[in-house]
């Protein structure tokens, strides 16, 4: 999705952010609203359809993820309207304006759902970080702070999802401590 697919109209407000900046911020927030709504429904799709030995654990996790996202939907929509913008919050708006790939409707296995959600949380996390920078550049520190708050939780949830996918090869040899094969970190990265 591009910035051109969502337009913005502003209502009069006494907020001291220039209208030109508010238009850009509202467009960005509406993109976030679409992606957040889409991600919430994707988490619910996983919640309803997960099968396998980790069913109960994942069923609860996916429902918790969807619940958190529902809260962010409301926060983002309210920020749009606080800036004098118009929130595009319908399911159809979300479907047509989301940055996320379509969720696969033919998966059942818990690991496949975790992988699909982790991929989408990764896209969403990048969008949030880009939005932090953009709203900061537009001198809207309140919206940048909102994005930062959401970003922290999304990164934590991405960690939870990825923890289900990270395979540690543990080898016990004659009572020695377990060893774990880990990914090498490139030189210069701390």
What pLDDT is stored for residue 187 in this prediction? 55
What pLDDT is stored for residue 6 in this prediction? 67
What pLDDT is stored for residue 139 in this prediction? 97
N- to C-terminal Cα separation, the chain: 34
Tens of pLDDT, residue by residue over 94-129, are 999 999 999 999 999 999 999 999 999 999 999 999
Residues of the chain with pLDDT under 70: 1-7, 167-190
What pLDDT is stored for residue 69 in this prediction? 98
pTM of the model: 0.84
What pLDDT is stored for residue 185 in this prediction? 52
Which sign, positive or negative, has the C-alpha torsion 151, 104, 6, 80? negative
Query: Structure tokens of 39?
Result: 């991600």
The residues, any chain, with a CB within 8 Å of residue 72's CB and separated by 6 or more, are 36, 150
What pLDDT is stored for residue 9 in this prediction? 81
CB count within 10 Å of CB 151 equals: 18
């Amino acid at each position: 999705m591009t910035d051109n697919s969502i337009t913005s109209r502003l209502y009069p407000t006494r907020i001291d952010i220039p209208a030109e900046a508010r238009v850009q911020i509202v467009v960005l927030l509406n993109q976030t609203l679409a992606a957040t709504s889409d991600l919430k429904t994707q988490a619910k799709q996983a919640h309803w359809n997960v099968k396998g030995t980790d069913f109960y654990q994942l069923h609860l996790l996916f429902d918790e993820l969807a619940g958190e996202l529902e809260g962010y939907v409301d926060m983002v929509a309210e920020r749009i309207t606080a800036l004098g913008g118009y929130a595009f919050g319908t399911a159809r708006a979300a479907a047509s304006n989301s940055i996320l790939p379509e969720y696969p409707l033919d998966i059942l296995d818990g690991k496949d759902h975790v992988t699909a959600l982790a991929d989408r949380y990764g896209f969403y996390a990048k969008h949030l970080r880009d939005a932090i920078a953009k709203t900061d550049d537009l001198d809207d520190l309140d919206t940048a702070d909102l994005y930062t708050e959401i970003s922290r939780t999304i990164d934590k949830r991405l960690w939870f999802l990825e923890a289900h996918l990270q395979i540690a090869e543990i080898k016990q040899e004659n009572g020695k401590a377990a060893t774990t094969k880990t990914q090498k970190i490139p030189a210069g990265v701390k």
